[in-house]
Amino acid sequence: MSSHGLRIAFFGASLVSAWWNGAALYYRGLLRALHARGHQITFYEPVHPERQRHRDLPVAPDWATVVLYAVEGTDGLERCLEEARGADVVVKASNVGPFDDWLNSRVLELKSGSTQVVYWDMDAPVTLERMAGNPEDPFRALVPCYDRVFTQGGGDPVVLAYRDLGARECVPVYSAVDPDVHQPVRAERRFDCDLALLDDRMPDLERRVESFFLRAADLLPDKRFLLGGEGWGDRQRPANVRYMGSVPPRDHNALRCSARSVLDVSRDGMARFGFSPAPRLFQAAGAGACLITDAWEGIELFLEPGRECLVAQDGLEVAEAVLCLTDAGVRELGQAARRRVLAEHTYAHRAVQVEQALGYSPRLG
């Protein structure tokens, strides 16, 4: 494999728009870090009219080439696949959108002695539970065909499950912080509150948001709660919960730095498997926010409970944490979390891990 930097062809949902696309910030952080290490990235994404209208990268980034393809038939995708032929690494991410199953199979035709094909599972617990419930799932037969599987999280439970399905290699590449993007900023009054939650409404998240966030708001009617993200507008909520609607990524730091504390809640599958920190966890820590997280196995690998974050088993414990936090405690938890993620959990760290997993050795000197 060349030591002059890899040519990586990446098929994903969207790099240019985070609208209903939490994976975008993960993609950006990791691909920017890989570019900084000398790799050439081409990102292929389907034309999604609403995502294009909600682009939060107004121009093509200088660290990746973005290629859009139409989804009225597969002609556009065929051209992208032909263009990707000969890349050192071809990545097919999960949940790309139109023709997803078709693309899972077609990218494997690009494998050669000089081209690795990788499946990058952004929702490994969901994927694995889906396949466990359906022996006829078409992706089952494809798993052993990929050179390796990367996942956004899941730890040993996900690695073992993928190995049982015949994966040659499975490597968790966890979310992280991009220090150039997520950092402390001046607080803004519009985001002032005692506890903030920033996440889009998803079927496998809503029950846990109700349990951890809305329940805590019910218990603390004199405290101010702020909810941001897509899809919550028609959701019944306590009177002390202010709904902000969609909050663009450029305002995420200000929201997290203005709230007295920030809550992170895992999706159902992620909580069951554990070892699946969401990008929001690291983004909040990077901003120096005082972080409260729902309990899940493996949190201590990323942040130390009681020193770098607070961990709650349910909404009652979230409410107790909000009540008990002192001004000094808020500062100390936020500063400690920021120190930890900058030392161990940046996308620069993850980029090195990806290189090692791909068998790439950068040229020295």
Q: pLDDT value at position 59? A: 66
The gap between the terminal CA atoms of the chain, to the nearest Å, is 18
28-63 per-residue burial string, b: 16 or more CB within 10 A, e: under 16: bbbbbbbbebebbbbbbbbebeebeebeebeeebee
> Degrees (nearest 5) of the Cα angle 290, 316, 219?
95
Beta bridge partners of 43: 10, 66
Q: 7 burial class (0-12, 13-18, 19+ CB within 10 angstroms)?
A: middle
Q: pLDDT value at position 3? A: 52
Residues in the chain with pLDDT < 50? 1-2, 365
Q: pLDDT value at position 1? A: 47
Q: pLDDT value at position 132? A: 95
Q: pLDDT value at position 57? A: 85
Secondary structure E strands in the chain:
7-11, 40-46, 65-69, 89-93, 116-121, 148-151, 170-172, 195-198, 225-228, 241-245, 262-264, 291-294, 310-312
Q: pLDDT value at position 312? A: 98
Q: Give how far Cα 334 sits from Cα of 48, 117, 141, 301, 321, Å.
A: 37, 39, 45, 17, 14
Q: pLDDT value at position 4? A: 78
Q: pLDDT value at position 285? A: 98
Say whether 157 sits in a helix, a strand or coil: helix
